[in-house]
Amino acid sequence: MKSVTVELPNVDVQRKLFTTRFKADKTSHLSIRDVDVCRECKDKPCLWFCPAEVYKWEDERITIAFEGCLECGTCRIGCPFDNIDWRYPRGGFGVQYKFG
Amino acid sequence: MPEKFDAIVVGAGPAGITAAYCLARDGLKVVMIERGEQPGTKNTMGGVLYRQMLDEVIPGFWKEAPLERHVIDQQWWLLSEDSAVKFGHRNSEHDKEPYNAFTVLRAKFDRWYAQQAVKQGALLITETVVTRLLRDSAGRVIGVETDRPDGELLADVVIVCEGANTLVLEASGIKPKPRADAMAVAVKEVISLPREVIENRFQIQGDQGAVIELFGDPTLGMVGNAFIYTNKDSLSVGLGAMISEFQRRRVHPHQLLERFKQHPVVAPLVAGGEIKEYMAHMIPEGGYEAMPPLYGDGFLVCGDAAGMVIAVHREGSNLAITSGRLAAETVVEAAEAGDFSARKLSAYREKLEQSFVLKDLRQYRHLTPMMERSPQFLGVYPGLLNRALQEFLTVDGVPKRQKEKQILRRILKERPVTALLGDAYRMWRALG
């Protein structure tokens, strides 16, 4: 993986997500198929390309903050091992854009 | 026994609403199924809606639709780390009715547009996710399954307008999961600013609008670009690049957006603004080669779900609208004949072939792959061009002939003559 040489600002994505309206369901619409696959995954690009930083690597496993998911689907396409079980939230739940 | 319709439309975006509108207008019993609380709550785009294609559906729509501004000023900026080379076009013809393009905010616009389809007689079901297509024993599509209890609906034909995330098409075995080099992810912020501040900064007045596409430094040379669009009292500021590019870099999309907003040529445009909403969406930029089958026994595919995006021209919603209209036209003909076979529905593809939709998609079929193979276009040239102009425009007593030589030497150092010629040929080929 190429490292970026330019300086990048620190961004608190939670502050951005605070501007977005969500109606969170009780259970996650996202799940990891096989936790061992993530352990073997060297780059873990999901920690980077997700625009809501839904995925974090904590205590040797991926955690999923599905409540802030923007439902773009990038992780489903971008996971190099097709290891994310991706569904839409139940009808009516999830992100609710005011402007779009 | 589930309820039976003439047609089911999956998804209330520009393609789906157009299809539902046209079918209901022509007297068919059509239901449109949307997963959001309202049409539009799940939908976003950069924000440019072209007039012509929607005008063919609802003549004079701009007089009543919730639009932001009509675009009179379009610019393309090539950015280095701290400078910009700017191209632009401002046109007073685009300032007159019927106008050429508008900026829109999709949550408002889609809600209005769906209401027009309902007024024509389409049934709208919200808060319902379509999970897959239903088939009969012969493999013909006969309806959809949803996430509601007893949530099966039947119809003579299903028009799939599910958008960039093609979960229904994939679950139904119609197309594979898209590749990371065929899909882009874009993030956007709606940033509020007083009307008069926007009008001063972008040299517009009244309902005039300006749009800027920015290339090079904003995406660190990755295949993609940034944009700034003027709304009435806000800016849509965003940035996107291919997912395959983000897979290779340890950078967050929103981090790039933050950096972009701090760029010296961008910061003065967004200064003092307040973020009203942050959003993200995928864009199917794989072009013609990445398109799924557009029809089959009992189904049609439109808009983003069909990969109908021409990234280089920032076009997508207009292709979606035209495809939705042509799908409806095909279904009306099929209903008259009582024949919803793939053979009958193949008329949809023929109509698309005769329209700008497949003509343009075919013309640019090599562009995305070429750009992905050629990082120099967005990674090297914007910087080179900026440095060349900086050198040429800095008056420091160095004779012009000497400056010209220095500029040429610098260019040739980064791109030798053979590479320059090769690039020119590649770009010429890819633009068809």
The full DSSP string for B348-374 is HHHHHHHSHHHHHHHHTTTHHHHHHH-
What pLDDT sits at residue B432?
83
Q: Do B256 and A8 touch (CB under 8 A)?
A: yes
What pLDDT sits at residue B419?
96
The span from the CA of B191 to the CA of B327, in Å, is 36
- Residue bearing tokens 């445009």: B269
What's the whole-number mean pLDDT along residues B111-140?
Answer: 98
Which among A17, A73, A92 has CB closest to B282?
A73
What pLDDT sits at residue B388?
96
Contact yes or no for B120/B57 (Cβ under 8 A):
no
Q: Do B247 and A80 touch (CB under 8 A)?
A: yes
The span from the CA of A98 to the CA of A92, in Å, is 14
CA nearest neighbour of B127 among B36, B12, B43, B40: B36
pLDDT above 70 covers a percentage of chain B that reads 100
The span from the CA of B15 to the CA of B318, in Å, is 9
CA separation, residue B154 to residues A5, B144, B262, B355 (Å):
55, 7, 52, 31
Q: What is the DSSP letter of B164?
A: S
Q: What is the DSSP letter of B249?
A: B
Contacts of residue A74, Cβ cutoff 8 Å, sequence gap at least 6: A49, A50, A51, B183, B185, B243, B246, B280, B282
Element (H, E) at B325: helix B317-337
- Hey, is B53 helix, strand or coil? helix
Find which of A69, A72, A87, A90 to mutate to test the B interface (most B CBs within 10 Å of its CB). A72
What CATH number was assigned to the domain covering residues B4-67+104-175+292-354?
3.50.50.60
What pLDDT sits at residue A6?
82
The span from the CA of B105 to the CA of B43, in Å, is 9
What's the whole-number mean pLDDT along residues B37-46?
Answer: 98
Question: B47-67: b or e for each residue (b if 16 or more CB lie within 10 Å)?
Answer: bbbbbebbeebbeebbeebeb
What pLDDT sits at residue A56?
98
Walk along chain A (100 residues) in steps of 10 and give the mean pLDDT of each run: 72 97 97 97 97 97 97 98 98 97
Residue ranges per structural domain of chain B: 4-67+104-175+292-354, 181-284, 368-431
Q: Which of residues 16-35 of B touch A (CB under 8 A)?
A: 35
Element (H, E) at B321: helix B317-337
How close is the nearest chain A Cα to the Cα of B219, in Å?
11
- ipTM score of the complex? 0.96
For B418, other C-beta atoms within 10 Å of its C-beta total 8
At the top level of CATH, the class of B181-284 is: alpha beta
Question: Is pLDDT at B8 greater than 80 in this prediction?
Answer: yes
The span from the CA of B387 to the CA of B391, in Å, is 6
Question: Is pLDDT at B1 greater than 90 in this prediction?
Answer: no
A92 chain-B contacts, CB cut-off 8 A: 35-37, 126-127
What pLDDT sits at residue B170?
98
Q: What angle do CA A15, A20, A22 make, to 5 degrees?
A: 120
CA nearest neighbour of B14 among B157, B161, B116: B161
Contact yes or no for A38/A89 (Cβ under 8 A):
no
For A77, other C-beta atoms within 10 Å of its C-beta total 26
How close is the nearest chain A Cα to the Cα of B129, in Å?
5
CA nearest neighbour of B163 among A69, A66, A16, A88: A88
CA nearest neighbour of B236 among B259, B209, B263: B209
Q: Does A12 touch chain B (CB under 8 A)?
A: no
**H-state helical runs in A1-100:** 13-17, 35-40, 46-49, 74-78
What pLDDT sits at residue B380?
95
Which among B110, B220, B254 has CB closest to A6?
B220
The span from the CA of B399 to the CA of B432, in Å, is 40
B254 chain-A contacts, CB cut-off 8 A: 11, 13, 16, 51
Can B4-67+104-175+292-354 and B181-284 be said to share one CATH topology?
no
pLDDT in tens, B311-343: 999 999 999 999 999 999 999 999 999 999 999
What pLDDT sits at residue A4?
53
Indicate the length of chain B as a whole number.
Answer: 432
What pLDDT sits at residue B2?
76
The pair of structure tokens assigned to B79 is 């950015």
- Residue bearing tokens 């205590």: A59
What pLDDT sits at residue B159?
99
Across all residues in chain B, what is the average pLDDT? 97
What pLDDT sits at residue B79?
98
The span from the CA of B367 to the CA of B190, in Å, is 30
Q: Do B280 and A97 touch (CB under 8 A)?
A: no
CA separation, residue A50 to residues B23, B36, B227 (Å):
38, 21, 20
